[in-house]
Structure 1
């Protein structure tokens, strides 16, 4: 199973910032459409503060709606902005875009910034990711600017990139560049490949089947197989004549409000219409089920891992050769991942009594967890993933952010570690021949590359599937430091800066973080940071609680009623940069997206004096109504619900929208959102922008950039990404008083 996502069907869990976990060559903050330039409207919001330099914000009516939660009355002035289909809301969004467009286009350096962004993103080399081996071939997604979207290729070998043959090119299907590959799955024999394709950033995927030899479609299509809420998955039968897949409700089968829920498993036989597909499993799944399917090496068994929303809890089912499904792990067992071995035995990552993870093994004929064999016990390292081969077990660990890969024999005897660079990240491990394997490595200063590891001699060789970048970070150093959070917890922060730069508090700094769903901010390469370094800037990445950097205890320390810890950690990281004279509040900007957008909203409402500028992508801000959206229901296991008194109390205590205070001089803020976002409803950004524009007493701009043709980030065309990145850097450069970026010949040496 290969997804464009870096995490399995976690909906909001994809960090859309900083490119710290980007699978592709492009920065992970995906672009939105650039609204047409126009002059700003002449009217300001009724009752909004006015003063010298204040922007003429669009008129925004206040229409109070009161709700009561456990005896607490909450008034919402801007609930009317939740109706994105309303002509009045559409006009309001258009006026906001006009204002933002006029402001950003007036930045003197924007033209030079856009030229540099386009140069970097267009010149970045081909990137191969999501590798999968089937039938003696390598399948991969390939991202190669100036192509608008990644496309699916098949190679004879990782050592022969010239053999790559394009199988599915979304740009051929849709020349406008708005169709994208969600994921692909080759049959075990490599003769067929199933591909989920969606449009306009919706992530609403339809599976099409292709013949690998000819590249032609077989005619098999399965709609409603993927969504931006529950994700999607597929597993072929061993003979390649059909597959099990995740099926969402079809129109008319359930009420409209349930269409993104109740995912089940169906079977499709090749050559038959999808209306004849057979139900296999799922009536007992919860409304917020997210299913991952896998076929065993022999093709005789199928695994279904069912996540209960986004909180990291799973049930696991096995389909045996007789056609019987057996549930062998329940939520209390805390088994978060299951992988087939080469001999069809099951390897399980369990966190029961082991918050940093342990590896167990089961025979498919004896599915009794109480008798599971312990292969790798818990240690100080956090186990993220593992790869069993014929005679080895490779364990991919997390060490607070950076990675390591340990090697064991199948009895659990430690055989050492795979040599990888320090402060780097291993994103994927893939079995090749025998006990050899491939892994994808990346660091903050070196772009991603595929490496081959030889089990015989323990040597690592860089393969030709290695990215090159049009920029060099030879002049950049990485310091991994720790700051102290409000409750005394030590929180790692990674600081990237040019070598020899003085610590005098004058450097412009860009701080980012995420802190949710157990998702870790691992080292990653972002070529656009070159624009920041060329201004003497510093980039800082925080490893906050809520993530998985130190295991499940670290995650649980920042979710549900403990979510405030994440915001305290981030504030401590910002203060650390100030205290260590890396920067100052007047030179500090923060940037985050999705769950990281919530982080931005919390920091700017709790500590508005701490930063100069904020960029928040597709963020969540109204924590009292988020669960009423389709994807918000999946997030209840991570954030909590207003239905629970204690969880409501925690949600209301930090909900950014409800903590905007009138008469506060807020920092310059740019909100970005996409109309087709299936994960975070755009009304969050609309309401937050309106509330802040009405409340802010300062002259710093509060801008909303709302795209009408993109979503949460996945599937955004390269051309639109360039425009968004140009706007973001233009905003930051203006608000922090930076000059135009140097031309290519004047930039840092390569």
Structure 2
């Protein structure tokens, strides 16, 4: 799921270990039932734990605290759990420092995020050139030391001349970022922080003197949560001026004549050398929206900006780059696997746009970066992503040979000033490495990578297709140790997602190494609702088509059992966020197939989601309870409402941070309580919570290691590979 909701702050809910063990031995605390019945389109819907949505209720807080203590008491007693966390730390240290999110500026400077081997949090860093010395600009740990609360950098945006960098900083995993502006040369903050600038819709005017940003409205205590993302405004602020002097330039409350919806979140696109500024919108979930244009000179003149519409949602401009008088954009119109077009803004009629890049017959265009002389596109084939260069009017492009098989991610060339391209490449068994593409040759950038000293077993990677209930073949990638016996005894973890068109992608997952070392199997499914085969694959897993997502998951689980990788005693499923539907509905529809499940920050009560801050932004993905068809789809995908009394459910661990801005933590509270009351299997249903975490974004390495150790220990215990120590 996406974005923000109010959070509950406070100390981490813990009890002394002896008390925790006593609770664990006595079973989890029982939640009282206070059933509330709603009628939707003639259907009665029971909600026995509705009261848990009030996180300030002392009884709810007490129950959550006791649940946390119960879970902690059990998890800490699983054989080998402490050693597993230690191994995870060793693996992380062996990978060294990691650099990602690279942005290149016109003068050659590069800005990026840095996760140091021994660092507590990701830092913002830069180099004056690709080969220059590294300079750390922002270390969030300095804020954590002052407040005792973890802080994280959510986004960053350098000015074109490299003099300033704007960045978003939030606390406790909340993602509730404020915008700071840093003078790069002096390291000093310029002006005061600007609150409620939560996402990276931040850009600089071509002269680098002003920054444009999207700011949420300041709500009152009486405003419902559903108002959070409505009527946002894009402001223009001159560097050094107080935030109160920022000028509103775009948004539903600013441009009432443009026909904008209340959920239209705006952003501006500038590029040095272009006389134009582009204004785009989205609903924070769908990538596309309305697109407008104006002259930079008109924006700078003050007063009302004469925006001109050039595209609507139906035109599906999902990615845009501006160069001179030309707007480049990626679209799915007449191209379900996407194509790239260019439009002359001096004659801004989409009917006159020309094709720049077409996908190959066996792939889809997932993204692109515009350089000085050509365009480089990321082309997906299954879980792999390659690179294809488009230049000189060749719309078929020229595929680039990469150093090894995997998935490439392109660094941003902010002003399209460079003839070469920087990219990172990672594979299922290859840690990420950085390269600069010069012509057709990839030259390593060792200054961005640390030599990896990681001993790990030989891993087999297989791409297969699993037949789903309706005959659809679902891509599944399977990883395991070389020489593994396919006798059904291997601990096997099925992971997937299946929402927003997000695909599972080849990448090095350090947290999976201990699992593979122990003889485990990891299976990664690209189910419907994701985007592995383009827009049609995504739409086949949305709204009333959503059952395809979890039925594909079940089919992948059945494939793993049929082929001898696992048995129902050794098969687990895991996902999170919107993937709570993938995992939650798989275990409620086919509980006999799985030994255990882990669901992170999962969307589990789809009926109530619409009444939350972030729920309203997801109507375009999942539907609305306000219409009969939408309600039917949401009820079917709601794990909480599909739990049935007396069913032998697998063991489940629900993981949630109390500051989650995307999926309210009561999704896990209510579903854990309901499943504890309903399950007849006698297997544990745990609720693992962290009061200094949110959706996972911004969590420290220590927090991530703790979660990884807990989930793997829990799954191995439930598969009979570990035991509970006294």
Give the conservation status (yes or no) of the 8 Å contact 1:188–1:299: no
SS in 1 for 2:34: coil
1:199 corresponds to: 171
Task: Tell me, yes or no, if structure 1 residue 181 matches structure 2 residue 163.
Answer: no
Measured in 1, the distance between the counterparts of 2:95 and 2:334 equals: 45
1:400 corresponds to: 382
Paired residue for 1:266, among 210, 235, 238? 235
Give the conservation status (yes or no) of the 8 Å contact 1:244–1:267: yes
Paired residue for 2:279, among 304, 312, 324? 304
CA offset at residue 292 of structure 1? Answer: 4.1
Q: Gaps spanning 5+ residues in structure 1: where?
A: 1-8, 13-31, 45-52, 741-750
1:443 corresponds to: 427
* TM-score for the superposition, normalised by structure 1: 0.89
Task: Tell me, yes or no, if structure 1 residue 506 matches structure 2 residue 489.
Answer: yes
SS in 1 for 2:585: helix
Paired residue for 1:619, among 602, 609, 622? 602
Give the conservation status (yes or no) of the 8 Å contact 1:237–1:300: no
1:347 corresponds to: 328
What is the count of residue pairs matched by the alignment?
696
Measured in 1, the distance between the counterparts of 2:228 and 2:513 equals: 43
CA offset at residue 65 of structure 1? Answer: 0.6
Give the conservation status (yes or no) of the 8 Å contact 1:262–1:285: no
Q: Which sits farther off after the overlay, 546-555 or 428-437?
A: 428-437
Give the conservation status (yes or no) of the 8 Å contact 2:21–2:73: no
Give the conservation status (yes or no) of the 8 Å contact 1:428–1:439: yes
Cα pair distance change 1:471/1:288, threshold 3 Å: farther
CA offset at residue 614 of structure 1? Answer: 0.5
Give the conservation status (yes or no) of the 8 Å contact 1:511–1:542: yes
CA offset at residue 350 of structure 1? Answer: 1.3
CA offset at residue 37 of structure 1? Answer: 4.7
Measured in 2, the distance between the counterparts of 1:448 and 1:129 equals: 9
Give the conservation status (yes or no) of the 8 Å contact 1:177–1:717: no
Cα pair distance change 1:660/1:589, threshold 3 Å: same
Give the conservation status (yes or no) of the 8 Å contact 2:360–2:396: no
CA offset at residue 719 of structure 1? Answer: 2.3
* 1:719-738 correspondence to structure 2 within 5 Å: 719-738=702-721
Give the conservation status (yes or no) of the 8 Å contact 1:286–1:308: no
Q: Gaps spanning 5+ residues in structure 2: where?
A: 5-10, 253-258, 300-305
* TM-score for the superposition, normalised by structure 2: 0.92
2:91 corresponds to: 120
Q: Which sits farther off after the overlay, 169-178 or 577-586?
A: 169-178
CA offset at residue 449 of structure 1? Answer: 1.2
Give the conservation status (yes or no) of the 8 Å contact 1:598–1:620: yes
Measured in 1, the distance between the counterparts of 2:275 and 2:173 equals: 35
CA offset at residue 410 of structure 1? Answer: 4.3
Could you list the per-position Cα deviations for residues 569-591 of structure 1 after superposition, in whole angstroms to 9, with x for gaps in the alignment? Answer: 11111111111111111111111
Paired residue for 1:709, among 687, 692, 706? 692
1:130 corresponds to: 101
Give the conservation status (yes or no) of the 8 Å contact 1:624–1:642: yes
Give the conservation status (yes or no) of the 8 Å contact 1:40–1:95: no
* 1:476-491 correspondence to structure 2 within 5 Å: 476-491=459-474
Give the conservation status (yes or no) of the 8 Å contact 1:668–1:702: yes
Could you list the per-position Cα deviations for residues 632-663 of structure 1 after superposition, in whole angstroms to 9, with x for gaps in the alignment? Answer: 11111000011111121122123111111111
Task: Tell me, yes or no, if structure 1 residue 147 matches structure 2 residue 147.
Answer: no
CA offset at residue 169 of structure 1? Answer: 1.0
Paired residue for 2:140, among 163, 167, 170? 170
SS in 2 for 1:597: helix
Measured in 2, the distance between the counterparts of 1:386 and 1:115 equals: 40
SS in 1 for 2:569: helix
Paired residue for 1:240, among 208, 219, 238? 208
1:249 corresponds to: 217
Could you list the per-position Cα deviations for residues 393-441 of structure 1 after superposition, in whole angstroms to 9, with x for gaps in the alignment? Answer: 1111111221121111142354521112565111224448642111111
**What's the RMSD between the two structures over aligned residues?**
2.3
* 1:514-533 correspondence to structure 2 within 5 Å: 514-533=497-516
SS in 2 for 1:673: strand
SS in 2 for 1:174: helix
Give the conservation status (yes or no) of the 8 Å contact 1:289–1:306: yes
Q: Which sits farther off after the overlay, 35-44 or 188-197?
A: 35-44
1:276 corresponds to: 245
Measured in 2, the distance between the counterparts of 1:64 and 1:515 equals: 31
Could you list the per-position Cα deviations for residues 705-750 of structure 1 after superposition, in whole angstroms to 9, with x for gaps in the alignment? Answer: 111111001111222222222211221221122259xxxxxxxxxx
SS in 1 for 2:604: coil
- Between 1 and 2, higher relative CO (CA 8 Å, sep ≥ 6) is seen in 1
Paired residue for 1:555, among 508, 526, 538? 538
